Amino acid sequence: MDHFQLRDGVLHAEDVPLPRIADEVGTPVYVYSRATLTRHARVFRDALGELDNPHIAFAVKSNPNLAVLKVLANEGYGADVVSGGELTRALKAGMKPEDIVFSGVGKTHAELLQGLEAGIGQFNIESEEEGYELAAIAERHGKRAACALRVNPDVDARTHEKISTGKRENKFGVPLDRAAEIYARLAEEDGLDMRGVAVHIGSQLGDLEPLETAFGKLGALIAELRAQGCTVTHADLGGGLGVPYKAGETLPAPTEYGAMVARVTKDWDVRLMFEPGRVIAGNAGVLLTRVIRSKRSGNGPPFMVVDAAMNDLARPAMYGAWHDFAAVAPSGDRMTAHIVGPICETGDTFAMDRECDALVAGDLAVFRTAGAYGATMASSYNSRGFVAEVLVDGDKYAVVADRIAASAIMDAERVPEWLA
Ligand code: LLP
């Protein structure tokens, strides 16, 4: 459930009518609902209620806006970060260092050091090589890094290939069949406190079975590690739970996920850790846009050109993703249109042959379920600048990220004198 609902025929974010935001902030603009973020954070936590003190780290990559992170920090969430930049954000938003997990295959020397100096709770190491590098840095600085080893369980998550991470051929984690020996070797390092294992097989999962298979394999690994004398006190089960993008679509509920996790992990005797992103933020945001014009195209449906584009919301262009598209003030009439942005490539298409609310030039509309992997994947392609972000809370709202104009980006560019 989200807090973007029609009231008196006008779409509101909580108690704020979206036309007000469009008039005052301009379009395109991402609009987030604090009540929805909070609700999702609690639903996810409650779904894990059977577990003993689960650790929940919001996947910052899904929505790194400082205000969004602050909402989640207030809910007691930690952060799953994948870069020095995300780590800086999580700390700035008030997430406790000990509640921060650092994932990612390519942490640089500087990023490993940054994590150590910040005193983060756990590094999820993705290779033996990374483990030795971290151990050396930690020893040199008189520290000990708490670590989990991320394993690649070779499980097909049955999601889009670009967001599938747990197959043997993907770059993530160490192969399951080598994990026990690698863990044992890394556990010998003075600079490392090898305390657990981690797995994350992909995102937007519509089916719990691949997760259950992966967790089963992780459970067997924990038993194997203990049998060979290693200590395992933590298991990080990653993120991945999908959300409905289409009205009427059903996905596994957090409660079903929680029940499956409780069943599969009941004998593990570890602290379980989670890294949800999309399930918290996805339906807590919309991308508000205005129709520039409708353009006839032969005998086919018209091209409805909106002022948002693939640089603002990349998911349809990148993954062929579906985002529901709806009028802010629907008349009740319907139409079929190709919904496109202004960018000069055919990939800048949000939907072809979409049956949607009838709209004309100047009307406002939203792409729904844009709170995760939306603004954060924006670019300034076609010199369009970066889109603004707004957070609504009841009857008030704040601009939580300014629009960055193309001219401001240009200000960071130089033409060297020798070209003059
Ligand atoms: N943990 C790790 C190690 C991850 O790589 C990810 C997502 C998550 C947690 C959070 O997964 P979630 O709960 O959000 O599914 N840009 C793509 C999604 C990429 C996901 C990358 N990793 C999209 O727009 O669909």
Distance CA 343, CA 315 (A): 15
344 belongs to the catalytic site: yes
Average pLDDT taken over every residue of the chain: 97
**3-class DSSP assignment, residue 119:** coil
Please give the distance of CA 91 from its chain centroid, rounded to a whole number. Answer: 18
| Predicted pLDDT at 238 | 98
CB neighbours (10 Å) of residue 236?
27
Q: Is the pLDDT of residue 163 over 90?
A: no
Please indicate whether residue 276, judged by its CB atom, sits closer than 6 Å to ligand 1: yes
Please indicate whether residue 200, judged by its CB atom, sits closer than 6 Å to ligand 1: yes
315 is in an annotated binding site: yes
Nearest CA to ligand 1 atom 7: 203
Distance CA 54, CA 48 (A): 7
Q: Provide the percentage of residues in the chain whose pLDDT is more than 70.
A: 100
Same domain, 313 and 337: yes
Instruction: For 137-203, give the DSSP string.
Output: HHHHTT--EEEEEEEE------S-GGGB--STTSSSSEEHHHHHHHHHHHHT-TTEEEEEEE---BS
- Mean pLDDT across 139-151: 98
Task: Read off the pLDDT band of 157 (50, 70, 90).
Answer: confident
Residue 372 lies inside a defined structural domain of this protein: yes
Q: Is the pLDDT of residue 165 over 90?
A: no
CB neighbours (10 Å) of residue 2?
20
We report the CATH number of the domain holding residue 143 as 3.20.20.10
- Mean pLDDT across 162-172: 85
Nearest CA to ligand 1 atom 24: 373
| Predicted pLDDT at 297 | 82
At 65-100, the pLDDT tens digits run 999 999 999 999 999 999 999 999 999 999 999 999
Please indicate whether residue 374, judged by its CB atom, sits closer than 6 Å to ligand 1: no
* pTM exceeds 0.95: yes
Residue 140 lies inside a defined structural domain of this protein: yes
Same domain, 247 and 334: no
- Mean pLDDT across 325-338: 98
- Mean pLDDT across 267-282: 98
Nearest CA to ligand 1 atom 22: 203
Tokens of 211: 């997760």
Same domain, 219 and 122: yes
Q: Is the pLDDT of residue 161 over 90?
A: no
Q: Is the pLDDT of residue 103 over 80?
A: yes
Same domain, 240 and 146: yes
Same domain, 358 and 393: yes
Partners of 123 in the beta sheet? Answer: 102, 147
- Mean pLDDT across 296-306: 93
345 is in an annotated binding site: yes
Task: Read off the pLDDT band of 164 (50, 70, 90).
Answer: confident
Q: Provide the percentage of residues in the chain whose pLDDT is more than 90.
A: 94
Residue 99 near residue 81 (C-beta atoms within 8 A): no
Residue 369 lies inside a defined structural domain of this protein: yes
The pick from 40, 55, 60, 62 for probing ligand 1's pocket by mutation, whose C-beta has the most ligand atoms within 8 angstroms, reads 62
| Predicted pLDDT at 159 | 85
Q: Is the pLDDT of residue 236 over 90?
A: yes
Q: 226, 248, 274 — which closes off a domain?
A: 274
Same domain, 125 and 237: yes
Query: How far, in Å, from the CA of 62 to the mean position of ligand 1?
Result: 7
The dihedral built from the CA positions of residue 331, 332, 336 and 338, taken in this order, carries a sign that is positive
Task: Read off the pLDDT band of 102 (50, 70, 90).
Answer: very high
Query: How far, in Å, from the CA of 82 to the mean position of ligand 1?
Result: 11
Residue 395 near residue 308 (C-beta atoms within 8 A): no
**3-class DSSP assignment, residue 383:** helix
**3-class DSSP assignment, residue 90:** helix
Same domain, 320 and 242: no
What residues have CB less than 8 Å from 204, skipping those under 6 apart?
Answer: 159, 160, 163, 240, 242, 243, 278
Same domain, 262 and 231: yes
Nearest atom in ligand 1 to the alpha carbon of residue 276 is 13
∠256-257-259 over CA atoms, to 5°? 65
Please indicate whether residue 278, judged by its CB atom, sits closer than 6 Å to ligand 1: yes
If one compares 1 and 391, the residue with the highest pLDDT of the two is: 391
The pick from 37, 55, 58, 61 for probing ligand 1's pocket by mutation, whose C-beta has the most ligand atoms within 8 angstroms, reads 61
Residue 76 lies inside a defined structural domain of this protein: no
**3-class DSSP assignment, residue 85:** helix
Please indicate whether residue 28, judged by its CB atom, sits closer than 6 Å to ligand 1: no
- Mean pLDDT across 330-344: 98
Partners of 196 in the beta sheet? Answer: 148, 234
Distance CA 278, CA 182 (A): 31
Same domain, 305 and 366: yes
Q: 210, 244, 274 — which closes off a domain?
A: 274
| Predicted pLDDT at 395 | 98
In terms of C-beta density within 10 A (0-12 exposed, 13-18 middle, 19 or more buried), how is residue 59 classed? Answer: buried
Nearest CA to ligand 1 atom 23: 373
Same domain, 303 and 265: no
Please indicate whether residue 330, judged by its CB atom, sits closer than 6 Å to ligand 1: no
Task: Read off the pLDDT band of 298 (50, 70, 90).
Answer: confident
Please indicate whether residue 80, judged by its CB atom, sits closer than 6 Å to ligand 1: yes
Please indicate whether residue 203, judged by its CB atom, sits closer than 6 Å to ligand 1: yes
Residue 51 lies inside a defined structural domain of this protein: no
Query: How far, in Å, from the CA of 386 to the mean position of ligand 1?
Result: 22
Q: One of 147, 230, 344, 356 is an active-site residue; which one?
A: 344
| Predicted pLDDT at 166 | 84
Residue 386 lies inside a defined structural domain of this protein: yes
Count of domains for the chain: 2
The answer to ipTM > 0.95 is yes
Angle between the N-to-C axes of helices 84-92 and 109-118, in degrees from 0 to 180, rounded to the nearest 10:
20
- Mean pLDDT across 261-286: 98
At 341-382, the pLDDT tens digits run 999 999 999 999 999 999 999 999 999 999 999 999 999 999
Q: What is the DSSP letter of 41?
A: H
Query: How far, in Å, from the CA of 48 to the mean position of ligand 1?
Result: 20
Residue 86 lies inside a defined structural domain of this protein: no
Lowest-confidence segment of 8-17, 151-160, 352-361 by average pLDDT: 151-160
Name the one residue in this structure whose structure tokens are 């590094």: 123
Shortest CA distance to 370 belongs to which of 239, 307, 276, 278?
A: 278
In terms of C-beta density within 10 A (0-12 exposed, 13-18 middle, 19 or more buried), how is residue 163 classed? Answer: middle
We report the CATH number of the domain holding residue 352 as 2.40.37.10
Structural domain boundaries enclosing 223: 104-274
Distance CA 370, CA 257 (A): 23
Q: Is the pLDDT of residue 190 over 80?
A: yes
